[in-house]
Amino acid sequence: MEESTADLIRAQLRRLRVAAGLSQEEFGKLVHYSPSMVSAVETGSRPYDRSLLARADEVLRSGDLLVALLRIAEREGQPSWFLPWLDAERLASQLRVFQPTLIPALLQTEGYARAVIRCDDLLSDEEVERRAAARLDRQGILTRPDPPQLIAVIDEAILHRRDERFQGLMVHQVEHLIACAERPNISIHVIPLSVGLHIGLSGPFSLARGVDGGWVASQEAQLTARPTDSEADLATLLARWETVRNEALSRQQSIELLKEVAKSWT
């Protein structure tokens, strides 16, 4: 979702609340949010979701304005279930990403992103291009003036998917990872093949820490990515993060391994 759309939704939420004569505390009671959470959503330090906007439309008698704006955002690029995570990702001060099967989306080259998306043979060429462009747009958070710290842990097996058709693509992708890893706000850590089985093989997940220090997590599946800020879920995923991070090589060791892999591809 574009930043301007997210800001517009927040601005309309705040405008409607004030026009209704409701304080953040009064409004929060009606939509089952704490005053601090209402404030965080309105200022952009915490993401909103469809259920909040639907309740707000009902309470503020807005004629479904907020949900309609959300539908516009969905048509512009991303499914509704992914929007809360994109919002959390954009607002994060730190991102922790674990991927056992693919290069993380924020670190993919255009060619790699397009090849991965094209694996879904139900998508038209136009849809593939649209999704690839949207994925590259997400990466803009890493080059803005105040970028988040990105710590990515990947499994070495990702780097060794041998297919001669994609040799040039993989060389470029691994070289891109090396360049990213040498930037001050990005750390890439590789779990070597010698580790064998580990808890991370259960599936990918991401963690975003907002400017308020709160965490939001996302677990990816075939059809959805489930954002959550449940204390129990966060405790589990933060513990799993420590496990996979501890299994991985150091930053410099990982860069050296990536350089060896790049040579092997050439």
| pLDDT tens, residue by residue, 203-231 | 999 999 988 888 999 987 665 667 788 89
According to the model, what pLDDT value does residue 158 have?
92
Three-state secondary-structure class, residue 151? strand
- Angle among Cα 109, 114, 120 to the nearest 5 degrees reads 140
The whole-angstrom separation of Cα 123 and Cα 38 is 38
* Rama region for 120: left / alpha / beta (φ>0; ψ in -120 to 50; rest): beta
* Residue ranges, the chain, pLDDT below 50: 1-2
**In the chain, which residues fall in CATH 1.10.260.40?**
3-76
**E strand or H helix at 225, and its extent?**
strand 225-228
Residue of 123, 195, 125, 111 lying closest to 153 (CA atoms):
195
The whole-angstrom separation of Cα 200 and Cα 202 is 5
CB 251 within 8 A of CB 188: yes
Judging by DSSP bridges, how do beta strands 94-99 and 215-220 pair with one another? unpaired
Domain 3-76 annotated CATH 1.10.260.40: yes
